[in-house]
Amino acid sequence: MKIVQIALDVPLDSLFDYSAEGHGEIGIGDRVLVSFGRRRMVGIVAAIADHSELPPERIKPVLRVFRDTPPLSEEIIRLLRFCADYYHHPLGEVILNALPVPLRQAKPPAPAKPTAYRLTEAGVAVEADTLPARAIVKRRLLQSLKQAGMLTRDDVAALSPSGPRAIMEFVALGWAAASDETLDMAPAPVRADKLRSLTQAQEQAVAAILAGPEQFKVWLLHGITGSGKTEVYLRVIARVLERGGQVLVLVPEINLTPQLEERFRARFPALCQVSLHSRLSAGERLRHWRLAQCGRARIVLGTRLALFTPLPQLKLIVVDEEHDGSFKQQDGLRYSARDMAIARAKQAGVPAILGSATPALETYYNALTGRYHLLELPARAVAEAALPTIRCIDISRAELTEGLSEPLLAALRTRLERGEQSLVFINRRGYAPVMRCGQCGWISTCHRCSSRLVVHLREKRLRCHHCGHESRIPPSCPDCGNADLAPLGHGTQRLEASLTRIFPAARILRVDRDSARRKHALPEMLERIHAAEVDIVIGTQLLAKGHDFKKLTLVGVVNADGALYSGDFRASERLFAQLMQIAGRAGRDVLPGEVLIQTQFPTHPLFQSLIRHDYQGFAEGLLAERKQAEFPPYCHQALLRAEAAQMETALAFLHQAKAVAPKQFGVSLFDPVPAQMARLAGKERAHLLVQSASRGALQAFISAWNIELSRLAGRVRWSLDVDPLEF
């Protein structure tokens, strides 16, 4: 009997034996349908065996082998196995969750929609001038089809929201026809007519990466904001594409994909390029995934879920803004896409480029110790552009107007007079962080979380930004009946209202997760900023990275002190990176930039390093502190997380877990403690930290400990987090 071992999407760290008789050729990576208990489930063949330890009568047959999609490659299966082993997560869940949703379902995926459109002979004969004057979209679509020869569905949608409807009218009229030929496999042409000359540092970086044989090597491209890291990526990618390779580009946030897509499409207009992120529909993700799997998509750009995309000709991996915490998934499989990208590059024998203006300390330490190769871009790519001047405004004794100091208001006024743009940065959305009763001290708290309910005044709602709970703003204090409730503190909505009152003639735009909720809202807002239709932008971290606004010369930072004295040892590193990134939005072109940071602690070493633009000095100081405290990167950590209805239950489970921990591996186990956010979505949370100077010893310990943990009983949900970023 031919036995196949199937990986299924179940929380069991095991493969399941099935008989493959009667299905012809079946191999590793094939997608199959099997019965599991009372359910029918889709699984992936992870191994093939000659026999099973189960008696023959208990071995069920494979019900169906799906032939509509090529099998997962050995490279991807090997990567997913490594990921499951390293993060100690069930292999079946890792493999199945790497697939697009339609491929996890028993029913066949819906037929793919046309991926591209070309003009027919009848369409070529039509002149745009003959179309009605008000048919602006149809005119633009016709001209674009004639110029490009072919447009993808994404290109059509990018022309206008009504573009898809217009192209269907063209098809109905016989002017256009659907085409699936979205890729010419010839070497990728590069638009060289508009290439800006490189700085000396950029040239050296490109030459270093392209020198020598094609092999695994990790490059840390440490460049200040505006130094042209993306241009270095593009030059290296062009060479890889000329050799027939595929490229995987990872970005930390969905919001960074549209502008990068635009730059890549402008540079490689005749190339099939796809994006993969959570805002795509299931059908779109499947179509893009298949184009990558068959080798037709030469550039795959996406967030962390794009990491496991099959790429048969993978020759380069780029991780932009590698320091960003968004690369670490915080639920389910708690993996780091950056670290797994390096693992994938090593398995494939290809180079990986990590880019950042403020590298993660672990990454910078690897570069200092020679494990990674450091490349530096110390100057801005535009010759006339200089780094912005950074100044701290001491607000410990100053009078504030709606949370804004007089020097910041004066600077905003000056920019308005000059016709330049300003950005006011506050990393708090909503109107105010909390509603408070001035009589008894009541504050709006979330009954499901250890957090406050944020005031959203326009909607007259109190919302928890952690669990999503919301309620009406009460007309009076729930405790004492006082009707004089007041919002305390500032958020983006309150700043917007304040600046509108102070500068009534200014064009003010708020950019945060609330205002950018609609699918195309953020690209439209960014376009308004680029077109100089906005004078003052109020933004959160959505605007902190990657954006290049030519006329923006002032950045004001409000409420920056919160993370200075946090209990999280990574808080200062995150704050420095965030402020350095947001400061980098100012003065990126010929106009000089200025950054004003409102703080009660202007002499704090973090702010002094910021003023000097001294990442190196700041990082070396933090590394010295981490070494003394024996924190990463000088040790390796894992966190056992537990959550239950009562804190006592979670802590009792962790004490049991500590008691059954194997003793022979020489790791340190700390006492169980409540999590920083002890209550989340109605569950009490606690954790137990494990630490070791040896990664190998820690991994061996977790493997043995995991077996013991699975035997513990109790109404506790637990998980292991290797290399944790949040506590």
Q: Which residue has the higher pLDDT, 23 or 696?
A: 696
Q: What kind and span of H or E run contains 725?
A: none
Look at residue 586 in the predicted model and tell me its pLDDT.
Answer: 87
Distance between CA 314 and CA 295 in Å, rounded? Answer: 9
Distance between CA 424 and CA 557 in Å, rounded? Answer: 6
pLDDT tens readout for residues 315-351:
999 999 999 999 999 989 999 999 999 999 999 999 9
Say if residue 194's pLDDT is above 80. no
Distance between CA 338 and CA 76 in Å, rounded? Answer: 16
pLDDT level of residue 187 (50, 70, 90 thresholds): very low
Say if residue 190's pLDDT is above 60. no
Look at residue 518 in the predicted model and tell me its pLDDT.
Answer: 78
Percent of the chain with pLDDT over 90: 65
577-598 residues labelled b (16+ CB within 10 A) or e (exposed): bbbbbbbbbbbbbebebbbbbb
pLDDT level of residue 289 (50, 70, 90 thresholds): very high
Look at residue 491 in the predicted model and tell me its pLDDT.
Answer: 92
pLDDT tens readout for residues 503-522:
999 999 999 888 888 767 88
DSSP label at residue 265? H
Q: Check if the beta carbon of residue 388 is closer than 8 Å to that of residue 415.
A: no
DSSP sequence for 442-464 = -B-B-SSSSSBPEEETTTTEEE-
Average pLDDT over the chain reads 90
Look at residue 366 in the predicted model and tell me its pLDDT.
Answer: 97
Q: Check if the beta carbon of residue 678 is closer than 8 Å to that of residue 650.
A: no
Domains of the chain by range and CATH? Answer: 3-104 (3.40.1440.60), 116-179 (no CATH), 200-377 (3.40.50.300), 389-432+489-618 (3.40.50.300), 636-722 (3.30.70)
Distance between CA 705 and CA 699 in Å, rounded? Answer: 10
pLDDT tens readout for residues 476-500:
999 999 998 999 989 999 999 999 9
pLDDT tens readout for residues 596-619:
999 999 999 999 999 999 999 999
Look at residue 115 in the predicted model and tell me its pLDDT.
Answer: 67
The encoded tokens of residue 480 equal 């004492």
Percent of the chain with pLDDT over 70: 97
Say if residue 188's pLDDT is above 60. no
Look at residue 191 in the predicted model and tell me its pLDDT.
Answer: 55
Look at residue 197 in the predicted model and tell me its pLDDT.
Answer: 87
DSSP label at residue 432? B
Q: What kind and span of H or E run contains 233?
A: helix 229-242
pLDDT level of residue 160 (50, 70, 90 thresholds): confident
Look at residue 186 in the predicted model and tell me its pLDDT.
Answer: 43
Distance between CA 298 and CA 188 in Å, rounded? Answer: 9
Q: Which of 70-74, 585-589, 685-689 has the highest mean pLDDT?
A: 685-689
What does the pLDDT average to over 276-290?
88
Considering only CA atoms, which of 353, 373, 327 is closest in space to residue 248? 353
What does the pLDDT average to over 12-28?
89
pLDDT level of residue 185 (50, 70, 90 thresholds): very low
Say if residue 662's pLDDT is above 90. yes
Q: Check if the beta carbon of residue 447 is closer than 8 Å to that of residue 470.
A: no
Look at residue 189 in the predicted model and tell me its pLDDT.
Answer: 53
